[in-house]
Amino acid sequence: MPLSTPFGDNATSQCEIAAQHLLANLQSDALPASDLAETVAGALSHPEGFPDLADASVPGDIILFAFGKEVTDVEEVARGVIHYAQQANLADRQFQFLLPSDAPAPVVESLKQVVAPLGDSVEVLVHQPHDQKANSFLTSTQENRAIILNRHLCDADVVVPVGVARREGGFNTFGAFSSLYPAYSDIDSQKRWNSPLFVTRPQRRKRRTAEIEEIRQLLGIAVNCLLLPARGGGYSHAIYGEASQVQALAGQQLAEHWQPSVSNLAGAVIALVTGGQLGQTWENAAKALANVEDLVRPGGAIILATEIRQRPGLAMAQMAESLEFTDFESLMRKSRSEDAAIALQFAKTLSQCKIYFRSALSEDILDQLDLIPVESDEECRKICEHYQDVVVVHDAQSMSLRLAESGLPS
């Protein structure tokens, strides 16, 4: 049967898979919001278990919205904030929109245009992890580590983190406030956090999550704003309000729309990475691998369908030079490369199964990474025919999959 599967930046695969070989075609039913700005404005107007910003602030207060690195539709979210601020008559407050250090310049300039209606009452900021003057010492953690954060984050009267809802324990996810730290810390803290051992050591993950929670409490942040992923990329809902209630509601939505089960292990899993060009990243590819790797039986394969154009980083190149996964894990123990966790996830999956890779990269680059290039729908069909039983996972970077008999997330 012909199977039309969207992936990448508006690409579509037309892969022919025999009906008897297709175990499951998994796709969320969470559709993109028809107007994300209005969705965000509505969430701010009707917070969960907390006063709205008009009542939770006083004239002259600085209200700072800090965007997580995962948030790709910054302009529309900000447009919703502006709509809310105008409707609530908050002209006597100061608004700040804080972006991560790697925010693309066109996005920054576009955001400035979006928030311009607030005039002198609004400011767009880009974090500078290398600039000591742009960051402040907050305090030390219980482990006696210095907490250095963006100065505006420390000085704001009200901080509203804006992140994307993810399941607990997902790749590079450390609780509901992982959008804040280390993204808005100094460069030394960011390098320390580049250690990738959380991929293979759950205790490291717990320590990171606890550290972020401690920072949240020290900053006095009581609220959160989480965006729910939508099928094909984008966002379906926004939830704003008291942090624990937001997290609970987001968890319910994820369980309902993003946590399907499959009855059996598959010989091959087709993992489709979506989200437009901004979603075509090595990190999203690693998330997809982490989400689907436990569905593949021994000796099986994962077909990653992406349109990644960016060359792999330093740690990925080191992965290609290691003969055994245990050797590479030892090497990564001291690594502070930005892509160290991504490389360790790829290495972990490769130690379990083959990875076929569809991307905009050259065959030479993929060969160096021990990834098998896939260049056409016909090649994909042949791979599926070889492994016979196939599971297709749409939006694999957002899915949380489990085997029906175990009930445990993959």
- 67-89 per-position pLDDT tens digit: 999 999 999 999 999 999 999 99
The DSSP letter of residue 186 is -
> What's the one-letter identity of residue 92?
D
pLDDT of residue 168 exceeding 90, the answer is: no
Per-residue pLDDT, 8: 64
Arithmetic mean of pLDDT, 250-268: 94
- Confidence bin at 405 (pLDDT 50/70/90): low
Arithmetic mean of pLDDT, 235-254: 97
**Higher-confidence position of 162 and 139:** 162
What global pTM score does this model have?
0.91
What are the distances in angstroms from CA 274 to CA 6, 120, 146, 304?
7, 37, 38, 11
Reduced to 3 states (helix: H, G, I; strand: E, B; else coil), residue 55 is: helix
The two beta strands, 235-242 and 223-229, are antiparallel
- CA dist 85 and 91 (Å) reads 7
279 phi-psi bin (left φ>0, alpha ψ -120 to 50, beta other): alpha
- Confidence bin at 318 (pLDDT 50/70/90): confident
Arithmetic mean of pLDDT, 241-248: 96
What are the distances in angstroms from CA 354 to CA 293, 319, 387?
10, 15, 11
Percent of the chain with pLDDT over 90: 66
* Mean pLDDT, all residues of the chain: 91
- CA dist 32 and 45 (Å) reads 20
Arithmetic mean of pLDDT, 248-264: 94
Arithmetic mean of pLDDT, 245-256: 96
CB proximity list for 186: less than 8 A, separation 6 or greater: 129, 130, 132, 135, 148, 149
- CA dist 348 and 351 (Å) reads 5
pLDDT of residue 61 exceeding 90, the answer is: yes
| Residue indicated by tokens 């969705």 | 39
**Higher-confidence position of 319 and 350:** 350
- Confidence bin at 10 (pLDDT 50/70/90): low
- CA dist 357 and 359 (Å) reads 6
- CA dist 10 and 2 (Å) reads 19
CB proximity list for 108: less than 8 A, separation 6 or greater: 99, 124, 126
